[in-house]
Structure 1
């Protein structure tokens, strides 16, 4: 018995001598798999089409006018390409950009379980932590790409429709085109960070269910609940602990003198929630009995 056991151990050691856990499920392989999926192409297509839809809407309805003495960012949408890109981010940050984040981070693990391929990936063998890490990094990468795609297309469409010029600030003043481009980079970065909570919710739910729609829908639904709670003024200062309360703090970055306090607070809240949710996902999946 002991000789047989020793031989088995020797064979196992020899067969696994070239095994490296860190080389399993490379990020490149996972990225290619996700890019080939139809939902990825459809989501990017929707985001790329939005600037064209807004241009047509402004062409049909005329240039936006101020509402009395109150002028908003929307009222300056056709002033320049920079204004048009900022408006695209403004109308999308609250809901539309939530969907790709929830989709790319919530569908990733649950879809493997739904296809009954998750257990085969783990039997490859791909360590559970490595599998989650690869899928999380790719999911966040695709989410960031979606947020970069929208303003880039909007800038290109805006240049063709309204010309390249300074970003007109609704409260008065303007930012030259170069400064405006830099501020828009900051805005995109902050929008991405503010959506990390949705990413964390979606990823955690993806490790808890075999239904991709449940993970994606759950993350979107909980994000909407957060927005609703932030609108309840009776909560007072408790709203400051809601990520939704800070989602438009990026508006402070497109001022003549940018204010960073709100963005710093929003970043701290979002990153804290996200880290907790990611940790719960890794901890729960490590102990999960995977049968799908």
Structure 2
């Protein structure tokens, strides 16, 4: 069942259109940096920011910073919201369940497919932005990269921390995927499920700006999304990174179980 759902996702033009849109914005940023003076000049501005925006090998970090706050979560919300609600909306959900396929197996397959999309999207954005960065921005001639703490990181350290940053972004989107899947089991409208997920993320962002909601800040899904930058401090500042991982895993577990509890007990009328 998982293989069938993965192949279905890969064969849909929508999947590649969404990934193309995710790649488009970092591409535009790379072109603008290459042909204009928008980026910081060598020796000016924060050293790490200057390196990220002028060294092609580090440009994937800039790409993550561009797509993570808005575009990647929307893409995950759309895919996750369509997982079950889309089948219900088109009238195929009942036929899927007529086969010897349990509801739990179907739900696991749908969640696995969304997670696979997240992993694929992050890797494609990182790979394309790396190639674009090397082509348009070149490579720094310095002996190392200056960290956020002011020390110098070797090439192997930068590569390892970049890999950890990519993994962290993937985990951050797992919580969004679980929320979208839960909303997808509540309604037969894939648009409604996606909008419900996006609404929750917007509410989280708004609450982060309110001092009155400060007690809720550590538990909001968007609170630690950009904490991957702490991986580029020397030494690594693990506090917010670990908290971010725990929060996202909590959302993944809670909303996945909620989706399972609702989906396995609801009447399928479509």
TM-score above 0.5: yes
Q: Output the CA distance in 2 between the equivalents of 1:190 and 1:106.
A: 22
Q: Output the CA distance in 2 between the equivalents of 1:237 and 1:291.
A: 42
| 2:88 equivalent in structure 1 | 113
Q: Does the Cα contact within 8 Å between 2:185 and 2:263 map onto a contact in 1?
A: yes
| 2:264 equivalent in structure 1 | 286
Q: Does the Cα contact within 8 Å between 2:146 and 2:152 map onto a contact in 1?
A: yes
Q: Does the Cα contact within 8 Å between 2:34 and 2:136 map onto a contact in 1?
A: no
SS at the partner of 1:97? helix
Q: Does the Cα contact within 8 Å between 1:104 and 1:140 map onto a contact in 2?
A: no
Q: Output the CA distance in 1 between the equivalents of 2:188 and 2:48.
A: 42
Q: Mind listing any 5+ residue stretches in structure 2 that lack a counterpart?
A: none
**How far off its partner does 1:70 sit?**
6.2
Query: For 2:114, which of 128, 139, 142 is the aligned residue?
Result: 139
**How far off its partner does 1:30 sit?**
1.1
Q: Does the Cα contact within 8 Å between 1:104 and 1:143 map onto a contact in 2?
A: no
Equivalent pairs counted in the alignment come to 265
| 1:163 equivalent in structure 2 | 138
How far does the alpha carbon of each residue in 1:180-220 deviate from its partner, in whole angstroms, 9 at most, with x for none?
Answer: 12111111111121222211110001111111111112111
Runs of 4+ in 1 over 4 A off after TM superposition: 72-75
Q: Output the CA distance in 1 between the equivalents of 2:27 and 2:100.
A: 46
Whether 2:28 is the aligned partner of 1:53: answer yes
**How far off its partner does 1:104 sit?**
2.2
Q: Does the Cα contact within 8 Å between 2:25 and 2:66 map onto a contact in 1?
A: no
Q: Output the CA distance in 2 between the equivalents of 1:47 and 1:168.
A: 28
| 2:101 equivalent in structure 1 | 126
**How far off its partner does 1:34 sit?**
1.2
How far does the alpha carbon of each residue in 1:61-115 deviate from its partner, in whole angstroms, 9 at most, with x for none?
Answer: 314238xx96386544433123321111112211111022212222111111111
| 1:268 equivalent in structure 2 | 246
Whether 2:73 is the aligned partner of 1:98: answer yes
Q: Does the Cα contact within 8 Å between 1:193 and 1:270 map onto a contact in 2?
A: yes
| 2:183 equivalent in structure 1 | 205
**Relative to structure 1, is the Cα distance of residues 81 and 195 closer, same or farther in structure 2, using a 3 angstrom cutoff?**
same
User: Which moves more between the two structures, 168-177 or 221-230?
Assistant: 168-177
Q: Does the Cα contact within 8 Å between 1:83 and 1:167 map onto a contact in 2?
A: no
Q: Does the Cα contact within 8 Å between 1:105 and 1:202 map onto a contact in 2?
A: yes
| 1:187 equivalent in structure 2 | 165
User: Which moves more between the two structures, 269-278 or 52-61?
Assistant: 52-61
What RMSD in Å do the two structures reach over aligned CA positions?
Answer: 2.0
**How far off its partner does 1:263 sit?**
0.9
Q: Does the Cα contact within 8 Å between 1:197 and 1:243 map onto a contact in 2?
A: yes
SS at the partner of 1:126? coil
Q: Mind listing any 5+ residue stretches in structure 1 that lack a counterpart?
A: 1-24
Q: Output the CA distance in 2 between the equivalents of 1:93 and 1:63.
A: 21
